[in-house]
Amino acid sequence: MLRFSKTKIIATMAVILIGLLLAVPSLMSREEREAFQRSLPGWVPSWLIPSRAVVLGLDLQGGSHVLLEVDVPDLLRTQSTALRDDVRRVLREARVSPQGGIQLNPRGVQIRVPDQADREKILPRLRELAQPLGSAVLGQGGGRDLEVTSTPDGLITLTYTDAGINEKVRRAVDQSIEVIRRRIDVTGTTEPSIQRQGADRVLVQVPGLQDPQRLKELLGRTAKLEFRLLGQQGAADVDMLPMREAGGQKVPVERRVIAEGGDLVDAQPAFDSRTNEPIVNFRFNIRGAQRFGQATSENIGRPLAIVLDNEVISAPTIQSAITGGSGQISGRFTVQQAQDLAVLLRAGALPAKLTIVEERTVGPGLGQDSIEAGKKATYVAAILVMLFMFATYGMFGLFANIALLVHVGLIFGLMSVLEATLTLPGIAGIVLTIGTAVDSNVLIYERIREEAHAGRSIPSAIQAGFERAFATIVDSNSTMAIAAVILFFLGSGPVRGFAVVFILGILTTVITAVTLTRMMIALWYHWMRPKALPF
Amino acid sequence: MRLIRIWPESAHFDFMRLRRFSFPLSATLSLLTVVLLFTVGLNFGIDFRGGTLMELQAKSGRAEVAKLRQTAEGFGFGEVEVQEFGTAGGVSLRFPIQAGGEAAQSAVVQKARDTFGNEYEFRRVETVGPRVSGELVQSGTIGVILSVIAVLFYLWFRFERELAIGAIVGTLHDIVLTVGFFVITRHEFNMTSIAAILTIVGYSLNETVVVFDRTRELMRRYKTMPVEELLNLSINTTMSRTVMTATTTALSLLALVIFGGRAIEGFAQVMLYGVVVCTYSAIFISSPMLIYIGLRSTETAKAPEGKVAPAE
């Protein structure tokens, strides 16, 4: 029968009221929220006051979403180059010289040592270069990152294993996240989000960014700085690198690195006191200062190449030994370029090149327009649906409309608690649920009408209507929910925002359409004792 | 107070008879969609095709489309699609995916910003590389297939097998016709479209389940009623609810189409179409299917007059 105990009424109202209160912060602007927080007297505990608000997605508040991927071939090249230096050291110590030098492979290096005695001398040492993998399970310390094989005719190959490469990529992503964080912090943007995605990707989300191009500059640069001497054309052990001051013309640079970006402790933009050009001043740590001092004192009069990401920025001639551990980089920079270079050097180099595989940037103006349009559509949809419901079901339509408003409020309340992100498709989802939310009420009312026509008394018709429609409501909402859950796991960003609203909307529909309307109808019957259904 | 009634109280409309029209119609439309899908194809957005999309807003309030197109074509990034929208100087540019792999995409944005940055505000820039677009295609396809399978299991679990099959046929029909809508209107097909299709899957089942719930109930009540009559009765008794819900959903979607802004408009239009198709298929496709599947093994349904091949 249509009996609602007092406790049940109070409990239902309490749940709904709490849900709606939680939605309140989302309706205020940030300033209003903070002002309200301050205006509270001190004895009110902070947990009592809802303070969490719905997070606006980047498509609504404007900002940049950039997905970066570690360039694995580049990472392996870097690793193989380092391996080549290690192998060279081992050969030198063992006094073994391979035929035709050390060859770089895509996944390692190879050498040819025809003499068997030599081979036996160096093989154990080469095997020592292999690092055990950090993720080896206890009692299974078998995994190593490097595989050393040799053939009877003297070919020795050192190849990184798949597990080794995965480990390196994982580490590169971790390092990249740290470096990116340091770089973005300098730009002073609020609340950037930097997270790993998949095996080899980093997702950077920066809300409300004014200059996405600069962000990409900061993210995309590896910023590997090296100090090397200019070499002789055609000599062994030189690389031909483009020179910026000479318009990209290639110059020979010795492979030996005197000092590198990792040895820097500080870098600051400044102006050259003589030419008034923007420059970058840097300071070395002790190791870097020693090596730099020694190399400059031995090579006075020779040009020193300052190499950034395999491009020679400038090659000033060494005038005197630089032993103080500090120096400057010039290279016809603009002020902005000098500032950015200083930031990059302070934040450190990326372990490998990062490629931008996806970028989505929305200007703040568009986001604002989307919110306005979304609000308007929501109001219009709500008013249309409510008028229609009232015109069809009269008093009962009014009950359904109250339930509808509570339903929208609860969606916001739940989203605030979950700190879910509201996206543009999410707004579309809210408007869509306004249309579908009344479906449950319509099912119930039509059923009540049927039961009344079949000759039941009013209370029994209402009772039967609710009971019989309930199974249908559960069935129809479950199928909707299945589609929504799949969408949630499948989509990302805006589409996922739609799925969240959709799922929450289904939950709150069942609460409001079934429980709340039932309570209202029960109370109405209790007070009015009607002789006929109002529709 | 006079209240509106859209659907008469005690209607006894013979819906099942119309299957001789609805089946051929749907079969033709589905076939047409498949043919068009392979000949004309979908207008894939950058989510699935890769490339760069920009939305610009003229600072002066008037976009010079012809000049924009000429300049953009001159970049050498391949064929550019330039579209004007609105009246206040909004333009969208779409560049194809660049051959130089992921890194080459960035050059497009840089060049456009340098060239148009003074006269236009960049309201939206989206770049999707070849690898990501491939992944999106994969996850989109998997999602649609997975949702159909998951829902099939649910129906299997909740309903008799024949009802589950009928509902799934209706849902597949709705997916095909939605794809047809995309092919014919040339609406951009992207990740949001996948969201629309999954929503339509949900709505389609919602409609069918309401009718079939009633069918099941009536089957228990009237043990000897012929299938056709049973289905007609199910549809007639749930019709007022079907019309109501279709109307409220359509009203809210209409609000989205008119006021929701450009970014939502496409989604809302597809959904609006979807509501119509789902309502139609629940009544004229899923339900009559049961006559052919043979809802009651105990009872041989009378062979329908006229040879109508079942759709699909």
More confident residue, B311 or A28: A28
- What is the band of A309 on the pLDDT scale with cuts at 50, 70, 90? confident
d(CA B44, CA B37): 12
**Residue B253: which domain range?**
16-43+133-293
Please determine, for residue A373, whether its predicted confidence score (pLDDT) is greater than 90. Answer: yes
A60-95 per-position pLDDT tens digit? 988 999 999 999 998 998 889 889 888 988 888 888
Its pTM stands at: 0.84
pLDDT, mean of residues A200-208: 91
The number of folded domains in chain B is: 2
User: Which of residues B82, B98, B128 is at a domain's end?
Assistant: B128
- Give the residue from chain B lying closest to A500, CA to CA: B195
Instruction: Give B-chain residues touching A355 at CB under 8 angstroms.
Output: 101-103, 129
Examine the domain organization and report whether B169 and B272 are in the same domain.
yes
Examine the domain organization and report whether B180 and B270 are in the same domain.
yes
User: Which of residues B128, B155, B188 is at a domain's end?
Assistant: B128
**Amino acid (1-letter code) at residue A392:** T
Examine the domain organization and report whether B93 and B143 are in the same domain.
no
Examine the domain organization and report whether B191 and B260 are in the same domain.
yes
Binary contact (A443, B154; C-beta < 8 A): no
- What is the band of B263 on the pLDDT scale with cuts at 50, 70, 90? confident
Phi, psi for residue B247 in degrees, rounded to 5 = -70, -50
Residue A435 near chain B (CB below 8 Å): yes
DSSP for residue A514 = I
In sequence order, which residues have a C-beta less than 8 Å from that of residue B275 and are 6 or more positions away?
B203, B246, B249, B250, B253
Asked whether residue B2 is domain-assigned, the answer is: no
DSSP A230-292: B--TT-TTEEEEEETTTTTEEEEEES--SEEGGGEEEEEEEE-TTT--EEEEEEE-HHHHHHH
B28-70 per-position pLDDT tens digit? 999 999 999 999 999 999 999 999 999 998 988 888 888 899 9
Examine the domain organization and report whether B150 and B99 are in the same domain.
no
Examine the domain organization and report whether B26 and B72 are in the same domain.
no
pLDDT, mean of residues B195-211: 91
- What is the band of B301 on the pLDDT scale with cuts at 50, 70, 90? very low
A393-436 per-position pLDDT tens digit? 999 999 999 999 999 999 999 999 888 899 999 999 999 899 88
A343-353 per-position pLDDT tens digit? 888 888 898 88
Examine the domain organization and report whether B112 and B170 are in the same domain.
no
Residue with tokens 């002002």: A35
- Give the residue from chain A lying closest to B146, CA to CA: A486
Examine the domain organization and report whether B143 and B115 are in the same domain.
no
pLDDT, mean of residues B188-196: 91
Residue A487 near chain B (CB below 8 Å): yes
Asked whether residue B63 is domain-assigned, the answer is: yes
Residue A394 near chain B (CB below 8 Å): yes
Examine the domain organization and report whether B107 and B203 are in the same domain.
no
Residue B297 has a pLDDT of: 46
Residue B2 has a pLDDT of: 58
d(CA A529, CA B2): 21
| B233: region left, alpha or beta (phi > 0 left; psi from -120 to 50 alpha) | alpha
Binary contact (A373, B259; C-beta < 8 A): yes
CATH label of the domain that carries residue B122: 3.30.70.3400
Binary contact (B142, A490; C-beta < 8 A): yes
In sequence order, which residues have a C-beta less than 8 Å from that of residue A97 and are 6 or more positions away?
A91
- Give the residue from chain B lying closest to A374, CA to CA: B260
Examine the domain organization and report whether B146 and B101 are in the same domain.
no
Examine the domain organization and report whether B165 and B110 are in the same domain.
no
The dihedral built from the CA positions of residue A161, A163, A164 and A169, taken in this order, carries a sign that is: positive
Please determine, for residue A1, whether its predicted confidence score (pLDDT) is greater than 80. Answer: no
A217-274 per-position pLDDT tens digit? 888 888 889 999 998 887 777 888 998 877 788 899 988 888 888 888 899 999 988 8
d(CA B94, CA A10): 57
- What is the band of A520 on the pLDDT scale with cuts at 50, 70, 90? very high
* Closest chain A C-alpha to B304 CA, distance in angstroms: 30
| B38: region left, alpha or beta (phi > 0 left; psi from -120 to 50 alpha) | alpha
d(CA B95, CA B107): 11
Asked whether residue B8 is domain-assigned, the answer is: no
